[in-house]
A and B are shown apart, each in its own frame.
Chain A
Amino acid sequence: MAAHAPTKSTFASPEFRLLVIAVFVFALMAVLSPDRFLSSQNLISMAFQFPEFAILALAMTIAMMTGGIDLSVVGIANLSAVAAAMILTTYADPAMPASQSVLWLAIAIAVAIAIGAMAGLVNGSLVAFFGLPPILATLGSGLVFTGFAIAMTGGSAVMGFPDTVAVIGNAKLLGIPVPLVIFALLAVLLHLILTRTAFGLRVTMYGANPLAALYAAIDINRMLLKVYVIAGMFASVAGLIIMSRANSAKADYGSSYLLLAVLIAVLGGVNPYGGYGRVIGVVLAVLSMQFLSSGLNMLQVSNFARELIWGALLILVMVINTNAVTALRASLKPSK
């Protein structure tokens, strides 16, 4: 019995279930549309597509680990991107030599990420010091961030970048799409933060029982600030990738990504009540969603139907998780 226990728990883990789902969706799409889905062109295009919303899902993950949520990630992404875009269009002439435009790109990136951090600081303060429910605090702040972006641009797209900007979203590094490299780095970083740092363990413990965290003398306010700052910075990186791939920035890009990011985090096994979540699960959920999304695309399912499917899937996953939880509870309790 004891010898079987570890294998059993490996197969019963939500991450293993996700691996099965990802492989299943991949296989299904490959069978339904073999020549197109399995084409190298499609595989590469998928690798360029998913990092932007996958990074938003990572941002969502860390907020959810505390039992919170960050509904402002898309707003932060767009605000950061708009700010970066305005710097680039104002100071970097498209005709400028690459050696100079790189410098402006670096400045634009730094400003974008700083804006992400500040936006996160605002969210974190609302949650930590004012005790607002994260779902409402970030719903409101997200609208404010979007509003700023609209005010800055008048609602239209900002475009006309030097070519170097395209590197972030469209180039390859050793044959691997740059956005994928960025996502992989951030995923590993978040994994290490959550599992190998004192901060990460505090996030998990706070998510598991906020009151006990208070009694354990954890500096909760500081921890929450950090959580939302990290989420904000991740969101601004996603914003930069979107900007580069679209070759423009606009206040309302990626509006469908918010639901998708929540869906991926929940599908990835992150407990929306806090205290549990693994980056590997989120990565597998990202892959499943991308396979599904590309597959639906090839089967010519309309965009509207896709939103419907995402919403239905989110509810379904959460219901399954609650049932799983109750079943687990039931199996712990009675011995008949």
Chain B
Amino acid sequence: MSSERDTAFVDLRAITKRYAGVTALDSVDFTVQPGEAVCLAGENGSGKSTLIKIISGVEPATEGTIRIAGQERRTLNPRISAAAGVMVIFQDFSLFPNLSVAENIAFATQLSTHERFYKAHATKEIARKALERIGVEIDLDTRVESLPVAQKQLVAICRALASQAQLIIMDEPTTALTEKEVRRLQGIIRMLKEEGVAVIFVSHKLAEVLEVSEKVVVLRNGKKVAEGPASEFDTKSLTYHMTGRDVPEVPPSDIMPGAETLLQVRGLSKAGAFEDIDFDLKTGEVLGITGLLGSGRTSVAKALFGLVSPDAGSISIDGKTIPTGDPQAASEARIGYVPEDRLTEGLFLNQSIVRNVAVGRLDAHANGGWLNMSALVDEAAEWLKRLKVKAPDIEAPVQSLSGGNQQRVALARWLSRAPRVLILNGPSVGVDVGSKADIHDIVRDLASKGIGVIVISDDLPELLATCHRILVMRDGRIIDALDGKTVSEDDLAHRLAS
């Protein structure tokens, strides 16, 4: 045991991290050997991002000791951590879209050499070497913004390698990749491991990376609940450890007989985003739209709510065409949209909980512009109660709530408007397991009341637990329409990424 620790590249012991009374990590031990690939698994909120932040020096640990590259690190910040060879590749890759491939790869290296002048030749040399190392060819002069997602990821990997990475931490590396691209990534990972570079995969979808990993560590509610050789885990056992139970979600009940067509989408197209989107939604139906990152699923959702102006096509409710590209018109037609990113798009973080709901009903309680404040607040409070938002004080800023409660606040705003069509983009992203099941309950309940619900998600169990039908998108097109009751998770996963 001790010898294992002596050789470890990263060795964390009894790491505890508390934020304002919330224990994000509770006495977690974690080691990574040189050349080892580790899967760090856990639901959102399990503490896996906190652990990564501690290793990369973004957040200090409250308690515990950190050793990186054989040295105990009492003070750690991102620079020290990077100098020791820890490189994090975030899901958005943190590249400079307006710079060339070569400049992006060489950027960090050049900073660390304290070179005062930019040398085009040296830049390309650094980039070429890094690309050669992983055996990939990308034009060095191409601007990064014009690259497909998979190649951006390769650029990010090269940037890490160029900075002498000893450990590369990859956050959700496969979310945006097709099966073929995943296989290429696996090949690169194997090669890096042979060179002694360690890798940590952070993910809640691990099937693809399990086969190139030696070790799996599962976190739940800030505690390490499982650790072992990757060969001892499969998707099912991982899910069990991550959630702490075999999530027996109730499948959606049948659509009411005699349900009428509520929403009709015909030939909706937008250059570069989506093409020829056709579908119907019945009253009381839950329709899933899925696809990899960049498949166009979010653009379609935004177009339905008027946030994206389509070039062609029509959207109608009850046979009445509504103007496209106009959120007010969509909202008046009683389409609701709960966005993907609660923190930047969905909520007014520093405003009170009650205001975040009430903002949806200002017109209903305005008399010639003047608000009936008590009616407005009472109604919002009533919705908060109905959705079981746990808040000690509804006048407190909404940012004081947990992810699950925040999502309920976002839902409450739209539900108070009595929507006919409700679009939920990533309804349980960043929400704990318990709240997730509750949100699924809410979705099924809404459908049973005759609301047409569209769930945009890449969380396959979530889709299977809530949707009557599932549309699969790729490259901006709908490539499959599946029956939510009969399709299996594996089948869905295959269609998604093939």
Residues of A within 8 A of B (CB): 196-199, 201-202, 204-205, 208-209, 211-219, 275-276, 332-336
Contact = CB atoms under 8 A, between A and B. Distances in A.
B348 A201 contact: no
B226 interface: no
A69 to B, nearest CB: 20
A96 B126 CA distance: 86
B351 A275 contact: yes
Interface of B: 18-21, 62, 305, 307, 327-328, 330-331, 337, 339, 344-351, 355, 358-360, 362-363, 365-366, 369-371, 373, 400, 413
B456 to A, nearest CB: 14
8 contacts: A196-B371, A197-B371, A201-B362, A201-B371, A205-B359, A212-B344, A275-B348, A335-B18
A137 to B, nearest CB: 24
Contacts of A205: 348, 351, 355, 359
A198 B350 CA distance: 19
A335 B371 contact: no
Given A196-B373, A197-B371, A218 B359 contact: yes
Contact of A215 (B346, B351, B373): B346
A102 B486 CA distance: 82
A275 B19 CA distance: 26
A212 B348 contact: yes
A215 B360 CA distance: 10
A326 B18 CA distance: 19
B495 to A, nearest CB: 30
A202 B20 contact: no
Nearest to A216: B359
A212 B327 contact: no
A335 to B, nearest CB: 5
A208 B351 contact: yes
Contact of B366 (A198, A209, A333, A336): A198
A335 B20 contact: yes
Contact of B362 (A198, A215, A276, A332): A198
B339 A215 contact: yes
B332 to A, nearest CB: 8
Contacts of A333: 19-20
Contacts of A216: 359-360, 413
B351 A204 contact: yes
Nearest to A276: B350
B273 to A, nearest CB: 18
Contacts of A212: 344-348
Given A211-B345, A333-B20, 8 more contacts: A197-B366, A209-B348, A214-B307, A216-B359, A216-B413, A217-B305, A275-B350, A332-B20
B215 to A, nearest CB: 31
Given A197-B371, A208-B351, A217 B346 contact: no
A211 B62 CA distance: 35
Given A205-B359, A335-B21, A215 B371 contact: no
A198 B369 contact: yes
B344 A209 contact: yes
A222 B345 CA distance: 20
Contacts of B345: 211-212, 215
Contacts of B350: 208, 275-276
Contacts of A335: 18-21
A199 B369 contact: yes
Contacts of B413: 216
Contacts of A196: 370-371, 373
Contact of A219 (B20, B328, B348, B365): B328
A201 B328 contact: no
Contacts of B363: 198
Contacts of A213: 348
A67 B216 CA distance: 47
Given A208-B351, A214-B327, A334 B369 contact: no
Nearest to B400: A332
A124 B349 CA distance: 26
B209 to A, nearest CB: 32
B328 to A, nearest CB: 5
A205 B349 CA distance: 10
A211 B362 contact: no
B480 to A, nearest CB: 29
The residue among A198, A205, A219 with the most chain B CB atoms within 10 A of its own CB is A198
Contact of B348 (A199, A208, A217): A208
Contacts of A218: 359
A198 B349 CA distance: 19
A213 B359 CA distance: 9
Contacts of A334: 18-20
A59 B298 CA distance: 39
A135 B363 CA distance: 30
A201 B307 contact: no
A197 B362 CA distance: 9
A321 to B, nearest CB: 14
A208 B366 contact: no
A217 B331 contact: yes
Q: Which 6 A-B pairs have the closest CB atoms?
A: A217-B331, A198-B362, A198-B366, A208-B348, A217-B327, A209-B348
A217 B330 contact: yes
A276 B348 CA distance: 12
Contact of B355 (A197, A198, A201, A276): A201
A196 B350 CA distance: 19
Contacts of B360: 216-217
A336 B370 CA distance: 45
Contacts of B346: 212, 215
A67 to B, nearest CB: 12
A247 to B, nearest CB: 38
A251 to B, nearest CB: 36
B472 to A, nearest CB: 25
Given A196-B371, A201-B355, A202-B362, A208 B20 contact: no
A202 B351 CA distance: 12
Contacts of B330: 217
A159 B19 CA distance: 66
A212 B346 CA distance: 5
B344 A211 contact: yes
Contacts of B21: 335
Q: A197, A211, A215 — which one has the most chain B CB atoms within 10 A of its CB?
A: A215
A198 B328 contact: no
Contacts of A197: 366, 369-371
Most buried by B among A197, A201, A218, A333: A201
Nearest to B331: A217
A326 to B, nearest CB: 14
Contacts of A209: 344, 347-349, 351
A81 to B, nearest CB: 29
Contacts of B344: 209, 211-212
Contacts of A214: 307, 327
